A and B are shown apart, each in its own frame.
Chain A
């Protein structure tokens, strides 16, 4: 008897000729993530991926936690894998389900026989195993209509599997199948959630962070690195590019009208981010903006920001409420880090009354008071890479 993880693929199975490509990506990310925990075999067959530990005392709890964070997986089960022999299956089911059966009052057995060479039909298997379990655990009743637990027996080409309960996977599609994009990350609650959401759609991430020392601190940067490590548990490891942004912010403060400062700052961020992103083969930018959340996130402001770059800008949170965003940030474990109170570059010189309906012409006129092109080039040139 050996414990394995049976993985059901998500919407990948709807893909046509590309399906193989999606499956390969998924297997690759599974292998890479599981590698940190131990030696596992990852194999696809009959629209299921099986993760099998290659030694006896593998940490299956860790493996399950790891699998639960891999995109492209709709659902998975911890299962016990045994030889395809009905007596062996019965005995294994009895042993494997001992703990689970001590907690429940009723059960039923469902069987799937994809290996038609197996001598018993599915209903016959269910009856055999069900009777055995009912005799072994007299306190647990058979209830085919509303059971507390469903025991599944799967007879596949490779082996027979017994499991009890399906765990929801991370959903989405495998990382890398959606191309590559750069997330602009500040350290607040929203941007890590935005990163997570795009990673879920198969995007491989690169992160860009703007730092304005001494207005922002080293701790603010470390906070962003920690956020990215947590996002990385879903998206896979990512690189962080830190852009020195002080000079541009001081120029904006000294030369532009205060009510435009946020928009101009965001335009410069977009220009810089686009340059860095294209240097690293990214095809889009990602931000954590949500419509109407703050003055720089109105339709007018977003239009002015967007016109500063030509890459598409993904804003996965655009239609979400703060509460919804917070609940995702709690789920992916970034909330506690996000609320640490350090200044970030967006809060350094916030104007008292920012323009909520800026006119692009006026914004550009204000922006052009600064000789910004050399400053932007300098910022891009001095960008630092942190490998997380």
Chain B
């Protein structure tokens, strides 16, 4: 049975060069970058080279890159770090109702500490409106945290307009962008986006799990979450996980030129889904082509997921199962329960083919026939 992996926004398969690079660092260049001897120096050179590769990919400079354990840590560091650094200048934080839980839960924790948090609601297309943002960002706002691409729908948020709004408002706010789902999948330039902080993750781009980075614009001060040694300008102390960091750099270097291919896959999949009776597509055509979210009202997400899995097709349930939480993203978009309960997310990589989409849609159609209540 052919494996058809359509869950690349959850995580990706590591690419060969990333795996090889991790092995090379672990077995050959295993020194501690902070050690004074040549073995340490050699490791430090590798670390710097990796930072340079990552920096280039987002038009930053290497000193602005801080390696973390992944998207969650980058987001936590950005939100808590900015709030603690600027808490004397204001207590207001603006974010959205559709952020990743690592931002929403961090903001909620700050609310308990006395911060005021505004959660912007998206419209039914899954995007927040600039006008609403304008009303939310006041002079007391110290942090605005908005994602570049929503992880459930693929909706691209109007971050550049948000940046202009912050500027006009005269707020002292730092601007954080969670770019985990957009990194390498669309142009991401910190210069163009005009943000102060930006989170990225390795395992969404064919690097191993356990590594990510936070861009911190030079001159921006945030308070570290961890305390320890002098590594990474003390913002993220601890011995750098060099095998993972270098693997992430390798994944960036060898990232496939896939955007046209993905657009084609998306077009083909969108066409098949819209031709299928009983399917509602929740991601509109302006969404990042890597993600399509759809619902099959009447069939629970989890059931459809396991049904597809029987044929080796791996997707994600847009929402957790009935006993767990509903998707906060789809709920915030104002979608009714029959849509949120049955949502399925597809997310593509360069390995997916048009044939995969055919196999998937055929299996989906079988599922629609056999899984629905026949009454």
Chain A contact residues, CB within 8 Å of chain B: 213-217, 250, 253-254, 258, 341-343, 347-349
Contacts and interface: CB of A to CB of B under 8 A. Distances in A.
Contacts of A349: 373
B323 A215 contact: no
B113 interface: no
Contacts of B323: 341-343, 347
B326 to A, nearest CB: 12
B322 A347 contact: yes
Interface stretch (B140-148, B199-207, B301-309): B301-309
A380 to B, nearest CB: 22
B367 to A, nearest CB: 8
Contact of A215 (B306, B320, B324, B374): B306
Contact of A217 (B306, B322, B371, B375): B306
A342 B373 contact: no
A341 B321 contact: yes
Given A253-B374, A254-B374, A258-B375, A213 B306 contact: yes
Contact of B321 (A213, A214, A342): A342
Contacts of A213: 306, 310
Contacts of A217: 302, 306
A250 B304 CA distance: 15
Interface of B: 300, 302-307, 309-310, 320-324, 370-371, 373-375
Nearest to A253: B373
Given A253-B374, A254-B374, A214 B310 contact: yes
Nearest to A250: B370
A343 B370 CA distance: 19
Given A253-B373, A253-B374, A258-B375, A214 B324 contact: no
A44 to B, nearest CB: 48
Contacts of B303: 214-215, 343, 348
Contacts of A216: 306
Q: Which residue of A213, A342, A343 has the most chain B CB atoms within 10 A of its CB atom? A: A343
18 contacts: A213-B306, A213-B310, A214-B303, A214-B305, A214-B307, A215-B306, A217-B302, A217-B306, A250-B370, A253-B373, A254-B374, A258-B375, A341-B320, A341-B321, A343-B321, A343-B323, A347-B322, A347-B323
A320 to B, nearest CB: 22
Shortest Cβ-Cβ A-B pairs, 6 listed = A214-B306, A341-B324, A214-B307, A341-B323, A254-B374, A215-B303
A347 B307 CA distance: 17
A234 B179 CA distance: 50
A227 to B, nearest CB: 16
Nearest to B370: A250
Task: Give the residue among A213, A214, A341, A342 with the most B Cβ atoms within 10 A.
Answer: A214
Contacts of A347: 322-323
Contacts of B373: 253, 349
Contacts of B320: 341
A77 B309 CA distance: 53
A348 B304 CA distance: 13
A250 B323 CA distance: 21
Given A342-B321, A347-B323, 12 more contacts: A214-B310, A215-B306, A217-B302, A253-B374, A254-B374, A341-B320, A341-B321, A342-B323, A343-B302, A343-B303, A343-B323, A348-B303
A20 to B, nearest CB: 49
B309 A214 contact: yes
A344 B303 CA distance: 11
Contacts of A214: 303-307, 309-310, 371
B309 A343 contact: no
Contacts of A253: 373-375
A342 B373 CA distance: 21
Contacts of B307: 214
B310 A343 contact: no
Nearest to A213: B306
Contacts of A258: 375
Contacts of B375: 253-254, 258
B60 to A, nearest CB: 40
A343 B322 contact: yes
Q: Which of B306, B370, B371, B373 has the most CB of A within 10 A?
A: B306
Contacts of B309: 214
B223 to A, nearest CB: 34
A285 to B, nearest CB: 26
A243 B165 CA distance: 60
Most-contacted residue by chain A among B300, B304, B323, B324 (CB, 10 A): B323
A214 B324 CA distance: 17
A253 B375 CA distance: 8
A343 B371 CA distance: 15
A216 B307 CA distance: 10
B309 to A, nearest CB: 7
A213 B305 CA distance: 11
Nearest to B367: A214
A347 B373 CA distance: 15
A349 B299 CA distance: 11
Contacts of A348: 303
A214 B320 CA distance: 15
- The residue in B303, B309, B373 that gathers the most chain A C-beta atoms within 10 A of its C-beta is B303
Contacts of B302: 217, 343
Contacts of A341: 320-321, 323-324
A373 B332 CA distance: 48
A343 B307 CA distance: 14
B296 to A, nearest CB: 13
A348 B307 CA distance: 14
Contacts of A250: 370
A273 to B, nearest CB: 24
Nearest to A216: B306
A347 B323 CA distance: 9
